[in-house]
Structure 1
Amino acid sequence: MVEQRNPYDGTADADLLVLHVAGDGDAFGELARRHRDRLWAVALRTLGDPEEAADAVQDALVSAFRAARTFQGRSAVTTWLHRIVVNACLDRARKAASRRSDPVSDAERFESLLEPHESAAAPAERGELHRELARALGTLPPEQRAALVLVDMQGYPVAEAARILDVPTGTVKSRCARGRAKLLPLLVHLRSDTRGNRGAGGGGNRTESASVPGTPARKDGGGGL
């Protein structure tokens, strides 16, 4: 059986949008297929609930489908798509905040956005660590949470995160700084416990510059949570 070649192999994202606007019925579906996993990851980390994240991505893709003719090429197509997804997530987060009756249980849903913590800790200890991290993340306003998800959890450079959020780089930096400042008092003991588990030769107290377990190393020199 001969495997069929994807007719869009080698077609740039921007060209797929052009084809879509011109009436190609499959071009946008190919664009969504290429980027859905990354868009889903951002939505899940921002909202913390798989169903809410799925709905946000779906809403965003519908919006992008309809607004494709407004794309002017000032940024990469993937940046444009991420911006629409983040806006859809922020809308949902604000609506959820306005009707929230139990902040703690709502914050605990953020467990799903955390990567597994690779350490020598027992499974029960790792589970408690994740729960504490989840509760801390749930205390942040949606805008700060979105900035931290993109920069400290997804590893985007600040400039790219600013393009996605459609705000100045200084705004992204300040949101991240305020978010980190709010999280540090809630998480500092976790890093202390981790160093204690490594023994006395851990290299001194570096709590202020440590990153949250499970977040990727930044490539642009930005600080972790």
Structure 2
Amino acid sequence: MNDEEPTDAELLAAHVAGDPDAFARLFTRHRDRLWAVALRTMGNPHDAADGLQDGLISAYRRAESFRGDAAVTTWLHRVVVNACLDRIRAAKVRRTEALPDDLDEPGGRGSVRTATGDREDPEQAAIADDRRRALLAALATLPAEQRAALVLVDMEGYAVAEVAVMLDCAEGTVKSRCARGRERLARLLRDRLAATGPPGDPAHPEPDAAATRPIPVPPKPTPTSSNAGEGGAP
């Protein structure tokens, strides 16, 4: 008797063969990662849920088209990301609102923890949260294709070659989108943090009062009677 868990490919094949539970098991296995990608790509939970649903319906119906030339997870991400991009293009609006606090989904490669697992200092945690919000708000303003590439490569940690399969484009295109996206993000973050850097932020220290005070100009010496008699000003 084989008690091993079926592979992703086996579950997908079982779904195609008519197993009513196979696709649900496959989705449950990768739910957290797919949700994180949809959320970062769409920019808010409502649209992310719609994009993820569109992608899963598409994957459910198109499972027979899976050729096995890539990992099942790669194929699932490709279907979900394309569904999200289709929604963004259809809406023709750029979302600029900050993303919610639940982005660090369990199992996501983008999760950030302290090395010891201890609570962070409240002040440092607030600064880190402000920076993260600034990053995600800036990310939401990027063109959809750049955003998707950055989410998959920089935030989810996928290899460029794998992302190229997900986005159905050349590896050079992925690299180009990431490079342009990073450049634009850096510019946006510089402008945003320069204007709204939190007090006490080492990157944006408050100017010292003495350093900003005008340098006093010493008064001109007043001639005395003694030096007036020695050729001084009358």
Provide the TM-score with structure 2 as the length reference: 0.69
Counterpart in the other structure of 2:47: 52
Q: Which residue of 1 aligns with 2:10?
A: 15
Write the deviation string for residues 88-141 of structure 1: whole angstroms up to 9, x where unpaired. 111122223x2x4xx5xx312335547679776455544543343233212210
Q: Which residue of 1 aligns with 2:65?
A: 70
> Take 1:62 and 1:9, find their aligned partners in 2: how far apart are those partners?
28
The answer as to whether partners of 2:42 and 2:51 remain within 8 angstroms in 1 is no
| Partner Cα separation in structure 1 for residue 100 and residue 39 of structure 2 | 10
1:90 paired residue among 46, 71, 85: 85
Distance in 2 between the 1:36 and 1:8 partners? 23
Contact kept? 1:111, 1:134, Cα under 8 Å: no
Matched, 1:38 2:33: yes
1:220 maps to none
Query: What's 1:210 paired with?
Result: none
CA contact (8 A) 1:111 1:130 kept: no
Q: Which runs of 5+ in 2 are unaligned?
A: 105-110, 115-119, 206-234
Counterpart contact for 1:108–1:131, Cα < 8 Å: no
Give the AA of the match of 1:145: R
In our comparison, the structure showing a higher alpha carbon Rg is 2
1:132-178 deviations in Å (ceiling 9; x for gaps): 32332122100000000011111111111111111111110000001
Counterpart contact for 1:57–1:85, Cα < 8 Å: yes
Which structure shows the bigger proportion of residues in helix conformation?
1
Q: After superposition, give the CA deviation of every residue in 1:6-25 in whole Å (9 maximum; x if it has no partner).
A: x9852111111111111111
User: What CA deviation, in whole Å up to 9, does each residue of 1:56-105 have, x standing for no partner?
Assistant: 11111111111011111011111100000000111122223x2x4xx5xx
Instruction: Name the CA distance, whole Å, in 2 between partners of 1:127 and 1:157.
Output: 27
1:1-225 matches, cutoff 5 A: 9-96=4-91, 98=92, 100=93, 106-112=95-101, 113=103, 121-122=123-124, 125-188=127-190, 190=193, 194=202
Q: 1:122 to 1:17 in 2, by over 3 A?
A: closer
Q: In percent, how many aligned pairs have the same letter?
A: 56
Unmatched 5+ stretches in structure 1 = 1-6, 198-225
